[in-house]
């Protein structure tokens, strides 16, 4: 199984920037997109279908041009659940779940908190609620993969300037503490498991040539149930893919 997670920062813009052409010769079985900023009727889905993907599910935000997550797959899907049952997050199109045999994939777009204290409060509430929701799900689904834009850089190795950003949302102590709690609760950071000391980022500001100078943050993750650790073949940021201010992250697992 090969899974790609990608904050596309507007799926229509990413497609205009060559997303479909880039995917043409790639082996990914499942595509998880965040921040699609559209509804499915606004997107030419036939371009994905031509590559062998079917639309598993799409959770669009009620606010036009905002947030939203979607899953495409070449694999048969047993179940798709739109949302997490919490109105605020479902209104913003933050979560979608799909089951592939024994594997359950949750695609999530965490709030950013960058627009002020109110949204930072929403972000912290989301972290607590999402943690509880996932752990309730984990009682029945043992093999979970939680992908998406977490909007948090966990450790100093995951951000280009940890000192200057120590009080910046996305690298706040309380956010990093949540990530540590998350990864101590039965989940593994697939990238860091496969690459303990590798410095790679998944997001760069559009300002001041940040991407060209590689002044980035690693905020896009594939969290896997600890039981899946031995199945990780590789997990990397695909740095050459430039359709967004993020790059995709790729996970390959061996067969169960």
pLDDT value of residue 246: 98
Residues lower than pLDDT 50 in the chain: none
Question: Would you name the residues annotated as active-site residues?
Answer: 149
β-strand pairing of 103-109 with 95-100: antiparallel
| pLDDT, tens digit (0-9, with 9 covering 90-100), for 57-106 | 999 999 999 999 999 999 999 999 999 999 999 999 999 999 999 999 99
Structure tokens at 74: 């070449």
pLDDT value of residue 115: 74
Residue 220 CB coordination number (10 Å): 23
Residue 191 to residue 237: CA distance in whole angstroms: 8
Residue 17 to residue 95: CA distance in whole angstroms: 25
Residues with Cβ within 8 Å of residue 15, at least 6 apart in sequence: 43, 44, 47, 243
Set out the domains of the chain in order of their start, with CATH numbers: 2-253 (3.60.10.10)
The verdict on pTM exceeding 0.85 is yes
pLDDT value of residue 203: 98
Q: What is the 3-state secondary structure (H, E, C) of 132-186?
A: HHHHHHCCCCCEEEEEEECCCCCCHHHECCCCCCCCCCCCCHHHHHHHHHHHCCC
| pLDDT, tens digit (0-9, with 9 covering 90-100), for 154-179 | 999 999 999 999 999 999 999 999 99
Residue 241 to residue 247: CA distance in whole angstroms: 6
Structure tokens at 226: 């600890």
The β-bridge partners of 146 are: 106, 223
């Amino acid at each position: 199984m090969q899974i790609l997670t990608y904050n596309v920062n507007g799926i229509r813009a990413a497609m205009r920037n060559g997303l479909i052409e880039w995917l043409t010769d790639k082996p990914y079985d499942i595509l998880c997109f965040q921040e699609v900023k559209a509804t499915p009727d606004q997107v030419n889905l036939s371009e994905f279908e031509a590559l062998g993907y079917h639309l598993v599910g799409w959770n669009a935000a009620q606010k036009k041009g905002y947030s939203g997550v979607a899953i495409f797959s070449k694999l048969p899907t047993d179940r798709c659940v739109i949302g997490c049952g919490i109105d605020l997050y479902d209104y913003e199109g933050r979560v979608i779940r799909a089951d592939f045999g024994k594997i359950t994939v949750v695609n999530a777009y965490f709030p950013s908190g960058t627009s002020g204290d109110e949204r930072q409060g929403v972000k912290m509430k989301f972290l607590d609620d999402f943690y509880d929701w996932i752990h309730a799900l984990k009682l029945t689904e043992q093999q979970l993969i939680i992908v998406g834009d977490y909007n948090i850089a966990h450790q100093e190795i995951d951000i280009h300037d940890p000192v200057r950003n120590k009080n910046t949302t996305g690298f706040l102590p309380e956010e990093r503490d949540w990530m540590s709690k998350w990864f101590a609760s039965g989940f593994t950071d697939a990238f860091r498991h496969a690459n303990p000391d590798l410095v790679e980022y998944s997001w760069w500001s559009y300002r001041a040539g940040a991407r060209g100078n590689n002044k980035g943050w690693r905020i896009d993750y594939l969290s896997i149930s600890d039981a899946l650790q031995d199945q990780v073949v590789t997990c990397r940021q695909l740095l050459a893919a430039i359709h967004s201010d993020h790059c995709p992250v790729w996970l390959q697992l061996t067969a169960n």
